């Protein structure tokens, strides 16, 4: 059984609880063991880096140093946590002076960063480590007929981490095909949801959300599927406000990819956190022709 | 005699892991502005900001909302043919204005970031309800009620915690932070 250190991040504690629940359920079903990092602290989102870079590196390095004691690979479901951990790890490895300076601070918590951790996003675990083929073999209820807009967003891909394709990625669509869903042609799949501009520059964020929803609607997507809590909240929880602002009538549910994979693996919807949405998943689930537990979802 | 660094050098010095001054390698092609999803809301586009930084137009640059409107999507960074990490340069400008306490009036970004960091320094984890006062009063009345309604919905769906979360080894954590920044100053 493959084991990873799991860094849920602040969003998954509550606002993205369904992501957390569905992550735990689906990984268990695929024979992966996630061990939650004990006493982890916030990754800093973008705010620490606005204020002080050294502070930002220190706070991220604390998590990495604690993780080093537990295993060799750490996985984050949130794109911002992932990006921060990934690049802090890279920069501290490249710059021994910086690492030494930060280690002095970490010693206050009896920790040392050595830089041996491998940082991964949760979706990489499904797309690379398990792979669509194996997931396909475990599918019990293929999501036939469900048209999904696979939405990558920004920080999973950018800045470029390794040699991955940042302009034409396809692993997300492959995962969706593996569970029987139909990935639609969604040209804005790599375009930003607005992120924290929703708070700091609301008109700009609303227009960015509007563009994405419009694009998904044109593609006749039943649902948008995401791998980031901020994308989910922006696209789903503010759909009504965007409708008010632009005179539109969007009603497109936004799920986490783990929720859909979980459904296909035959995990009961309640265990995957369905029912915490602002927009009822009913219409989307009705589109799934084969699903046996359909009744249960609709009744929620 | 030491010469005063140019504004462009000052900004470049705030870019981690950069060698020399990458901003000076800008060829003004505009790929960044063309790729930026927020460009139309910015006072100056990313391409123009880089040119202005290189031209030493410090006061004009600091008066724009441009870098505070950057959503950190890094589309410019991955596409820049000169390999400039433009999103990182936007971060550098944000830090520059935070330190100098000199930014365009009416921006929510600086206060929000500061409050966010203070929340983390206090408890180790983020807590949405503590952040709301930094922005909610800057909205018009309709947005104010929209936001309150959304918060209520999140609460009802069990998506906002009642109490702020905190980490266990908070004492160590705060001593660790004090090593990096004067913690008295941030409270």
Query: Taking chain A, what is the end-to-end CA distance rounded to the nearest angstrom?
Result: 34
Contact check, Cβ <8 Å, B180/A105 = yes
Asked if A111 and B175 touch (Cβ cutoff 8 Å), the reply is no
Task: Give the percent of chain A with pLDDT over 70.
Answer: 94
> By the CB < 8 Å criterion, does B116 face chain A?
yes
DSSP 8-state assignment for residue A105: H
- Interface ipTM: 0.91
- Chain A closest-CA separation from residue B5 CA (Å): 21
Q: Which two tokens stand for residue A104?
A: 């002095």
Task: Give the percent of chain A with pLDDT over 90.
Answer: 83
B160 burial (CB, 10 Å; 0-12 / 13-18 / 19+) is middle
For residue B123, pLDDT beyond 60 = yes
pLDDT classification of B183: cutoffs 50, 70, 90: low
Asked if B113 and A53 touch (Cβ cutoff 8 Å), the reply is no
Classify A2-122 by CATH class: mainly alpha
Quick one: fold of A140-298? Rossmann fold (3.40.50)
Number of neighbouring beta carbons within 10 Å of residue B140: 9
Buried b (16+ CB within 10 A) or exposed e, A51-88: bbbbbbbbbbbbbbbbbbebbebbbbbbbbbbbbbbbb
Query: Taking chain B, what is the end-to-end CA distance rounded to the nearest angstrom?
Result: 39
Contact check, Cβ <8 Å, A238/B68 = no
pLDDT classification of A292: cutoffs 50, 70, 90: very low
> What is the C-alpha to C-alpha distance for residues B170 and B176, in angstroms, rounded to an integer?
10
pLDDT tens for residues A82-132?
Answer: 999 999 999 999 999 999 999 999 999 999 999 999 999 999 999 999 999
Asked if A87 and A95 touch (Cβ cutoff 8 Å), the reply is no
What domains are defined for chain B? Answer: 7-100 (1.10.1060.10), 109-186 (no CATH)
Contact check, Cβ <8 Å, A13/B120 = no
Out of A12-21, A249-258, B7-16, pick the least confident: B7-16
Selection from B120, B118, B134 nearest residue B187 by Cα: B118
The two beta strands, A73-76 and A118-121, are parallel
Contact check, Cβ <8 Å, B180/A54 = yes
DSSP 8-state assignment for residue B101: T
Average pLDDT, chain A: 92
- Give the pLDDT score at A297: 54
Q: What is the DSSP string of A7-43?
A: ---HHHHTTTHHHHHHHHHHHHHTTEEEEEPTT----
**Neighboring chain A residues of B167 at a CB cutoff of 8 Å:** 39-41
- Mapped onto helix, strand or coil, the DSSP state of residue A153 is coil
Residues 6 or more apart whose CB falls under 8 angstroms from that of B87 comprise A159, B70, B72, B73, B74, B76, B77
Q: Which two tokens stand for residue A186?
A: 């969604």
Q: Give the residue from chain A lying closest to B173, CA to CA.
A: A109
Question: What is the distance of C-alpha A261 from the center of its chain?
Answer: 13
Range B159-170 average pLDDT: 88
- Mapped onto helix, strand or coil, the DSSP state of residue B11 is helix
Comma-separated ranges of CATH 1.20.1050.140 domains in chain A: 2-122
Selection from A128, A173, A82, A146 nearest residue A285 by Cα: A146
- Chain A closest-CA separation from residue B41 CA (Å): 6
Comma-separated ranges of CATH 3.40.50.11810 domains in chain A: 140-298
Contact check, Cβ <8 Å, A276/B120 = no
Residues 6 or more apart whose CB falls under 8 angstroms from that of B185 comprise none
Predicted model pTM: 0.93
For residue B88, pLDDT beyond 50 = yes
């Amino acid at each position: 059984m493959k084991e990873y250190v799991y860094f849920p991040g602040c969003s998954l504690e509550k606002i993205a609880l369904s992501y957390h629940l569905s992550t735990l359920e689906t990984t268990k079903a695929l024979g992966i063991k996630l061990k939650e990092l004990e006493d982890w602290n916030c990754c800093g989102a973008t705010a620490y880096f606005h204020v002080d870079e050294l502070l930002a590196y220190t706070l991220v390095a604390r998590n990495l140093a604690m993780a080093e004691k537990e295993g060799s690979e750490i996985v984050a479901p949130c794109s911002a946590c992932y990006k921060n951990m990934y690049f802090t790890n890279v920069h501290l490895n490249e710059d021994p002076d910086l690492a030494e300076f930060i280690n002095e601070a970490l010693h206050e918590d009896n920790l040392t960063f050595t830089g041996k951790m491998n940082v991964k996003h949760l979706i990489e675990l499904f797309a690379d480590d398990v792979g669509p083929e194996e997931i396909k073999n475990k599918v019990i209820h293929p999501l036939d007929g469900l048209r999904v807009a696979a939405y990558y967003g920004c920080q999973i891909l950018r800045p470029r981490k390794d040699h991955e394709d940042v302009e034409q990625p396809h692993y997300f669509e492959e995962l969706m095909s593996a569970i029987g869903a139909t990935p639609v042609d969604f040209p804005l799949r790599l375009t930003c949801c607005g992120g924290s501009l929703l708070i700091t520059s609301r008109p700009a964020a609303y227009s960015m959300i509007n563009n994405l929803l419009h694009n998904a609607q044109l593609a006749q997507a039943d649902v948008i599927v995401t791998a980031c809590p901020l994308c989910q909240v922006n696209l789903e929880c503010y759909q009504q406000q965007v409708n008010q602002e632009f005179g539109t009538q969007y009603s497109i549910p936004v799920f986490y990819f783990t929720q859909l994979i979980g459904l296909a693996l035959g995990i009961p919807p309640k265990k995957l956190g369905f029912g915490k949405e602002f927009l009822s998943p009913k219409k989307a689930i009705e589109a799934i022709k084969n699903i046996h537990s359909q009744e249960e979802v609709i009744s929620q | 005699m030491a010469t005063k660094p140019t504004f462009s050098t000052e900004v470049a010095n705030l870019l981690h892991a950069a060698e020399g001054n990458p901003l000076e390698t800008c060829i003004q092609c505009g790929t960044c502005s063309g790729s930026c999803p927020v460009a139309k809301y910015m006072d100056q586009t990313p391409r123009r900001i880089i040119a202005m930084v290189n031209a030493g137009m410090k006061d004009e640059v600091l008066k724009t909302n441009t870098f505070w409107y950057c959503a950190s999507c890094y589309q410019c960074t991955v596409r820049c043919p000169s390999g400039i990490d433009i999103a990182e340069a936007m971060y550098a400008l944000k830090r520059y204005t935070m330190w100098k306490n000199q930014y365009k009036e009416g921006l929510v970004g600086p206060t929000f970031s500061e409050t966010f960091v203070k929340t983390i320094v206090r408890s180790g984890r983020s807590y949405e309800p503590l952040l709301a006062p930094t922005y909610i009063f800057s909205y018009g009345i309709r947005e104010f009620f929209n936001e309150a309604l959304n918060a209520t919905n999140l609460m009802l769906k069990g998506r906002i915690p009642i109490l702020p979360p905190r980490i266990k080894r908070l004492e160590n954590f705060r001593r660790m932070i004090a090593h990096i920044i004067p913690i008295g100053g941030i409270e």
